[in-house]
Amino acid sequence: MKRPYNELNIQEYEASVNNQIMSCLDPDNLKSFFLFAGAGSGKTRSLVQVLDQFKFHYGNSFRIQGRKVAVITYTNAARDEIERRLQYDPLFYVSTIHSFIWGIIKPFQIDIKKWLINSLSNNLQELSDKLQKGRTRDPEKLKAEISSKERRLEHVTNTNQFIYSPDGDNQRFNSINHSDVIKIGQQFLMENALMQKILKNKYPVLLIDESQDTSKYLIEALFEMQEKHKESFSLGLFGDTMQRIYSDGKHDLGSNLPDDWITPVKEINHRCPTRIIKLINKIREPVDNQDQVPGEYNNKGIVRMFLCPSDSNKELMEEEVARIMSELTKDGSWSCDASDYKTLILEHHMAANRLGFSDLFQTLYSVKGLQNGVLDGNLPELSLFTKRILPIIRSNILQDDYTVTKIVNKYSPLLDRKHFNNKENQVENLKLAKQGVQDLLSLWTNDKEPMIEEVIQSIYNSGLFTIPEKFKLLIEEEISQPDGKDNFSDELDAWKDFIKIPFSQIEAYDTYIKGDAKFETHQGVKGLEYPRIMVVIDDEESRGFMFSYEKLFGAKKKTATDLRNEAEGKDSSVERTRRLFYVTCSRAQESLAIVAYSNKSELIKTHLLEENWLDEDEIIIMS
């Protein structure tokens, strides 16, 4: 590892990187760039500093011309932070990728309708062929899915105005989901010259944060657009392929760039202690050998790996690890009595199991079309619970009647002014809304724990909130068909099982998705940082095939598929796991404990020593 930068060197280096980026944003000489920014390198700081410079030099002319700089972020939290640091200046349009793309395609309503009709028609043809050729174990379920698609196609055909909600609040037939927004945007950018013209004229500079996880199809469409309009459109990508988490990202982003692209590098890691920087450099060494360097002010830090038997009492084992870390670091915040550390686990269903929402997670995550929405908390059907019912329950516990009233006023169709014919009608609806809240809250009296179905039924009966179509269908099926029906699609089957789950699992899920739980997944912490981190590794509990720490740590042989994928330059379970391990370890600001459950502790220890990831005294075998 290179010698640490001193304060003066850091300032000079950071200024040099910012100047390279700034040189690309000259409106009279636009160029495109890819900024390599490893973990803790301060890419958001560079982004804000460069945009402040841009505002000083070119802000007035952009405002006069009605132009903006677009900044695409990966999460709403990142969007809010960048907006705050840019002081909410309207010169900069900061948004998530879905909201940005929707803003571009929204005016093309006729084209959106054509795309949806074509997509649904093709999908229906595929399903019909599958049914006719007998390629299904459940013909009735497939018929129900075809019937659902036909109804959707009929509604689309009779609709001329489509809507999209980035928060998933819209439940109507004319609403478009996240996935379709990206697909439509990608195709329109590739094929619609007018859209390209509108985009480059309104946003001559488009900057994408966490670009390695942005849809590869969308990135490729933007690359193609940039190639056609390189003199009037600057595409700036901020990212690090080693921090790519999601499979739909472009795996080779940053390589094979056009010769006229600028490629600045941020190599200083401002976040991690020197010991952890050394570890993460070794983790990524086989991939690209992009070494990071600390500043002279970075502390030394401490890393320990605890190898634990698979059949351990995991709660007690992790408490013991925290106690040992408290002693080793002389940091009482690791102690069990006043612990203040973040536990990172591999898979979401490990978190679900530990936090008490495993039934909810497994039921919905089993359906491919629901997976992304479950992981990012944006499933429209769950908004009824997380944005309306849960806040009412929590506010009622705090005896906060004002917030309860505010929620009902905002979301209840009973209080929609469009439905008030006269003052008498208004008074009656207010009474109905009040009674609806009382009926809902009565489900929790005397320490009762209602099922989700009971909550939905209460809302359905009172009309307090709008019920998503899928829940309405399920409730009405139960009303009209006491024995139920089995001809649901896979998604409806999942929702049918979902409503039989205790409502308490909604609260546990909501706490986890908002980041308020003790546990986080490896995937969920990108961009975040914590003083003390405990990484929990357990291939057996994670039960996944996408990741394997035992392979990464040399305790299990790579499969033929792994070897073939690596030979062909494709992703493998080992490389996916390596990236997650890099992201996880690079979140630590002071100390890092890695807890690995395996019955092959000696094999793992030998491999880690051979790879020079850890020293012998940094590996502790627990019993």
Do the bridges between strand 619-621 and strand 588-597 make them parallel or antiparallel, or are there none, so unpaired? unpaired
CA distances from 43 to 3, 28, 46, 240, 462 (A): 21, 25, 5, 10, 50
Which tokens sit at 49?
């500093």
Q: 35 pairs with which residues across the strands?
A: 238
**Residue 39 labeled ligand binder:** yes
**Residue 59 labeled ligand binder:** no
Kindly list the strands in the beta sheet with 530-537, ordered across the sheet, starting from the edge strand earlier in the chain.
Answer: 519-521, 342-345, 530-537, 588-597, 302-308, 619-621
**Residue 38 labeled ligand binder:** yes
**Calpha distance 178→123 (Å, rounded):** 18
Q: How far does Cα 344 stand from its chain's mean position? A: 15
**Residue 43 labeled ligand binder:** yes
**Residue 41 labeled ligand binder:** yes
Structural contact between residues 192 and 111, judged by C-beta atoms closer than 8 angstroms: yes
Half-sphere exposure of 272 (CA within 13 A, CB side): 31
**Burial (Cβ within 10 Å: 0-12, 13-18, ≥19) of residue 384:** buried
Number of other residues whose CB lies within 10 A of the CB of residue 464:
26
Nearest-CA neighbor of 529 among 269, 349, 207?
269
**Burial (Cβ within 10 Å: 0-12, 13-18, ≥19) of residue 29:** exposed
For 526-571, give the DSSP string: TT--EEEEEEEE-HHHH--SS--HHHHTTSSPPPHHHHHHHHTT--
In this structure, is the dihedral angle defined by the CA atoms of residues 230, 235, 241 and 247, taken in order, positive or negative?
negative
- The three state secondary structure string of 165-194 is CCCCCCCCCCECCHHHHHHHHHHHHHHCHH
Which tokens sit at 8?
């003066």
Range 573-576, long-range pairs (CB < 8 A, 24+ positions): 573/545, 573/546, 573/547, 573/548, 574/548, 575/287, 576/546, 576/547
∠ CA 233-235-237, rounded to 5°: 170
Helix (H, G, I), strand (E, B) or coil at 487: coil
**Calpha distance 225→235 (Å, rounded):** 9
**Residue 42 labeled ligand binder:** yes
Residues with Cβ < 8 Å from 106, sequence gap 6 or more? 164
Helix (H, G, I), strand (E, B) or coil at 294: strand
Task: Compute the chain's Rg from CA coordinates.
Answer: 27
How many residues are present in the chain? 623
**Calpha distance 255→444 (Å, rounded):** 57
Binding site membership: which residues?
37-44
Q: Which residues are annotated as a binding site for ATP?
A: 37-44
